[in-house]
Structure formats: structure tokens, C-alpha cells
A and B are shown apart, each in its own frame.
Chain A
Amino acid sequence: MYGWIFRHLPGPLWLRIVTSVVLVAAALVLMVQFLFPWMSEYTQFTDSTIGAASQP
């Protein structure tokens, strides 16, 4: 899958490497900004309040 994507990126090899680095960085930013905060709402490893049963 990743090989297929890499082969289908436009441009010479160096440009394709640059593009893939940018794509990976964009995926990281999206994960930190949106995915991880959303995931942490469903993990209760860090709940420190009392009476949390009534408030999720």
C-alpha cells in the first residue's frame, strides 16, 4: 500500500521523498490535534475526580 502510494507520487525521486515526509508530518499533526484528544476521552486512565461515575 505504502509502496504503491510512493510509486504513484508525481515528480523525481527527491520530490517524492519530500512529499512523503510532508504527508507523514501532516498525519502526525492531525493525530495530535484531533485523533488523540478524541481517543483520550474514551480511555479513563487519568480520571482524578471523585464521583466520576455520574459524569463521564
Chain B
Amino acid sequence: MVLQEKARPAAPPTAGVVILRGAVQVAGELLITAGLVLLLFVAWQLWWTNVESDAKQSEVIKEFAQDLGAAPAPAPTAPPAEGGDFGEPVVGAAPGHAGTIGIMYIPRFGPNYTRPIVQGTSQDVLDTLGLGHYDSTAMPGAIGNFAVAGHRQTHGAVLDNIHTLVPGDKIYVQTKDGYYTYVFRNNQIVMPSRTDVLAPVPTLQGVAPTERFLTMTSCNPRFGAEERIIAYALMDSWRPGSAGPPAEIAAQVAAAIGKG
């Protein structure tokens, strides 16, 4: 019986079967397409956004360098003497949304780590312009908490290596007024709702600050966003722009500003 059935010539498919086959084929092709689009989305998010943001951030640094204008970048071969006392740090006025505050240099993240610090922490700032300054927090050099956010992955991955900071690492902030040197103290992993890390004295609500803090927030774990990793630093010294950059970053500053 079975053999006979197999040997029988196939009857021409009915109209219903043809439509069904067509529908199954179209559905299959659409599903394959959806899979490819999702793969492309992952590639876009993990790779292409970095390419775009890096280009945009170089542009922002270039503009900042042009705004610094007349002051020529000091020669890296003759860095000015360290340790001078320049008195109370100058605290600049906060720029408008998406305005450039300055540049951050973190030697621990490599000799080419120069990232713009931009006002605001909305997606348009963080996704293209670099480190975003929480606009409710203090400006660099002010008594209180200068807090910035940055992506751990994607969109430039500005704080990808935040977990590699070692206590004592220097974090330099350059604004149009000068150079603020912060010293990394510790990091902490918290839930995203912990707004008290942005308090003038981090994690202590309602306490009047007497010191100058720098707080950086980023995603944790890498490639995830269930938690936040926070890095705290304390200001160590200040130099006006006219005194030239601190010796450790003189070459970096010359390279960054020299792009202008």
C-alpha cells in the first residue's frame, strides 16, 4: 500500500495549498529579515555609535580649543613648576544645556583619554557629546559635588574603564578658567534610584559640604544597566589656565588643544 501511494504521480496542488505555501515562505523570509535586523541593531549599538560619538566628541574638543583661542598651548617640553599655590579656585558659570564645560583627562584610561564635559544628562548629551554634567550639581572647583555621567558601553563608552581606577589616581578637569586636579578615592556600586550619590556631600543628604568632590556615574555591569557604578574623587589642587597644565597631562593637553 505504501509503495503504491509513493509511486502515484503527485496531484497538482489546489489553490489553497499554493496560497498556504506562499504565506509560509513570506512569513519565513520576514522572520529571517527580522533576525538580521536585530543582529544589525546590536552591531550598530555596540560599534557604530562609538564611531559616531568619537567623531562628534573630537569636534566638541576642537571647538572648545578654538574658544580658548588666544592662549597658545604651552610647550610640553617645558611644563611649569608644580606645587604653586594659586589661591581659591575660580568657579565658572554653568553654560546652557549642551554647552561645553571643559575637558576631562584621566591618565589611568590611557594617554589619549580626552573627553568633553557637557552640560546636562539627557540622552541627546550623553549619546553624542561625552560626559554629561548633572545640572543640579556644582561646577568644577566649587565646594560641593561636581557630578558627571557617562556611558560604560556604546555611544563613545566614555567611562568604560571606570572600574580600573586606583585610589590616588589623578583626574584632571580643564575649563576655560584653568585646571582642577581631583584625586580618585573609591567607587561604589548602587541601585539606579540612589540620587543621594549626587548630594553636595555624596551619600549624605542635607549635610553642608566643606570639600570639593567629583562624582562620576556609569552603568554597571558592563553591557548592562541594572546597577550604577559610582566613582568618587576629591579635589587636590587648582591652577589657572595662564599657569599652564599640570606636568602629568601637559603632552595630552597640547595634543588635544593642538587639534584646534
Contact = CB atoms under 8 A, between A and B. Distances in A.
Contacts of A41: 123
A46 B151 contact: yes
B193 A39 contact: no
Contact of A2 (B29, B41, B192): B29
B161 interface: no
Nearest to A39: B41
A53 interface: yes
B155 interface: yes
B30 interface: yes
B218 to A, nearest CB: 5
B223 interface: yes
A45 B223 CA distance: 7
A27 to B, nearest CB: 9
B212 interface: no
Interface string B117-158: 000011100100000101000000000000101111111000
A35 B134 CA distance: 29
Nearest to B224: A45
A50 B194 contact: yes
The range of chain A's interface size is 20 to 34
A46 B30 contact: no
Nearest to B230: A50
A50 B217 contact: yes
Contacts of B30: 1
Interface string A15-56: 000000000000010011001100111011111111111010
Contact of B26 (A1, A35, A43): A1
A41 B37 CA distance: 16
B195 interface: yes
A55 B147 CA distance: 17
Interface string B183-201: 0000000101111011000
B25 A48 contact: no
B109 interface: no
11 contacts: A1-B25, A1-B26, A1-B30, A40-B45, A43-B45, A45-B225, A48-B151, A49-B149, A49-B192, A50-B190, A51-B198
Given A51-B192, A51-B194, 4 more contacts: A41-B123, A45-B224, A50-B147, A52-B192
* Interchain residue pairs A-B with the least CB separation, the first 5: A51-B195, A1-B26, A49-B149, A48-B218, A47-B225
